[in-house]
């Protein structure tokens, strides 16, 4: 679907809101997502300006929003974002959350039309051995994805992959790793074991995770219970050896919005010794699930089968941790509650700012 055109005036209004430290976090976030979905080149420039040109102690800088903006630059699929993402990765004044997201965004662009994949590969290699674990691991996974992209052009792996199912559900999302091919025929339990095995390389564990996600989606398509693969996937919230992997598991659970994953996600948010990038992603996932549980998108017969305590637990945890000492966690809880309320509201249809003209 072609995005609705947005005037320069409105784009600049969104950009000004994003840069306004006096605006509410919610309004800045909605402006950010409006820019993400706008097709105009100016939207990319405004997002890139926010990511690249503001660092603490500037009051404009915000780790959560800048990492989301870096994510959006990768998901838009514009090669023009590459130099900005490289600038963000190389800026050691940025926290790891932003630099990692910029690296993941760079890797996401490697499969897009008009991109010099060899140049992206060279750039990712520059940081693949970084002393910052999350940045190094992000680049390592990205390099493996590039290897896969290059190999599938001769092996035709894409035609065998269940990724098409994910595209139906998440048409505007670029995954950091592909699912396994359908002819590999892993069981849910085998995928869980791969996901949890720290002796396996991260790319393999990521592929297991996304294949489990596809099994959940297939169950939803078949109108059977998705709880078994979703619960096995949620075990990945405690996967040993990689906070990067655990945070991606939380992100995927937020995509899927399966109610039975509320308890493990809540436990994750409560783990104050867990990496903030994992806890923040778990909080955002809870917001997505809460909105679905409370909203108009579930039919009455499905809703009646979902324990009410899932709704209560998700909302209670998010409210509790709006006062967390970690800024990225407490801000994620604030936004998660707003997203949940927005999804559940019958008057609203899209969280991002939308053009008014």
Task: Give, to the nearest 10 degrees, the angle between helix 327-344 and helix 276-294.
Answer: 10
Return the exposure string of 250-262: e unless at least 16 CB atoms fall within 10 Å of the residue's CB, then b.
bbbbbbbbbbbbb
Q: What is the DSSP string of 98-128?
A: HHHHHHHHHHHGGGSTT--HHHHHHHHHHHT
CB burial of residue 347 (10 Å; 0-12, 13-18, 19+): exposed
Q: If you write DSSP's letter for every residue of 271-324 in order, what string do you get?
A: -TTS-HHHHHHHHHHHHHHHHHHHSTTS-HHHHHTS-HHHHHHHHHHHHHGGG-
Tell me if 294 is assigned to a ligand binding site. Answer: no
248 is in an annotated binding site: yes
CB atoms within 10 A of CB 101: 29
Is 215 annotated as contributing to ligand binding? no
68 is in an annotated binding site: yes
Distance separating alpha carbons of residues 66 and 86, to the nearest angstrom: 14
- Is there a binding annotation on residue 275? no
Residue 252 neighbours by CB under 8 Å, 6+ apart: 209, 210, 213, 233
Q: What is the DSSP string of 75-92?
A: HTT-GGGHHHHHHHHH-T
Q: Which of 93, 75, 74 is nearest to 84 (CA)?
A: 74
Distance CA 182, CA 312 (A): 38
87 vs 303: CA distance, rounded Å: 46
R_g of the chain computed on alpha carbons: 19
CA–CA dist 180, 177 (Å, integer): 9
Give the residue ranges of the annotated binding site.
67-68, 100-101, 247-248, 280-281
Give the residue ranges of the annotated binding site for Fe cation.
67-68, 100-101, 247-248, 280-281
């Amino acid at each position: 679907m072609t995005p609705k055109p947005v005037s320069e005036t409105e784009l600049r209004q969104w950009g000004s809101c994003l840069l306004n430290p006096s605006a509410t976090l919610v309004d800045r976030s909605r402006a950010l997502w409006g820019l993400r979905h706008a097709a105009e080149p100016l939207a990319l420039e405004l997002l890139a300006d926010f990511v690249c040109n503001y660092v603490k102690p500037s009051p404009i800088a915000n780790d959560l929003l800048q990492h989301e903006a870096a994510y959006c630059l990768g998901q838009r699929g514009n090669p023009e974002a590459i130099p900005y993402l490289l600038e963000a990765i190389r800026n050691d004044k940025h926290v790891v959350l932003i630099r990692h997201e910029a690296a993941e965004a760079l890797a996401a662009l490697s499969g897009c039309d008009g991109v010099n994949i060899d140049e992206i590969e060279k750039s990712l290699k520059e940081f693949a051995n970084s002393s910052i674990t999350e940045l190094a691991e992000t680049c390592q996974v990205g390099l493996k994805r590039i290897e896969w992209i290059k190999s599938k052009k001769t092996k035709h792996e894409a035609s065998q992959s269940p990724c098409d199912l994910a595209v139906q559900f998440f048409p505007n999302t670029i995954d950091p790793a592909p699912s396994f091919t359908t002819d590999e025929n892993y069981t849910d339990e085998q995928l869980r074991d791969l996901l949890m095995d720290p002796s396996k390389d991260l790319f393999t564990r990521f592929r297991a995770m996304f294949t489990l996600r596809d099994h959940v989606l297939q169950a939803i398509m078949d109108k059977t219970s998705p709880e078994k693969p979703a619960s096995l996937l949620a075990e990945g919230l405690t996967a040993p050896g990689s906070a990067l992997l655990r945070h991606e598991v939380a992100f995927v659970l937020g995509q899927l919005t399966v109610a039975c994953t509320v308890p493990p996600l809540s436990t994750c948010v409560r783990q104050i010794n867990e990496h903030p990038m994992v806890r923040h992603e778990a909080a955002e996932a809870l917001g997505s699930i809460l909105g679905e549980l409370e909203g108009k998108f579930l039919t009455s017969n499905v809703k009646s089968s979902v324990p009410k305590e899932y709704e209560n637990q998700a909302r209670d945890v998010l409210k509790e941790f709006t006062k967390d000492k970690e800024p990225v966690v407490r801000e994620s809880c604030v936004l998660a509650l707003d997203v949940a309320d927005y999804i559940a509201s019958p008057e609203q249809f899209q969280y991002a700012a939308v053009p008014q003209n």
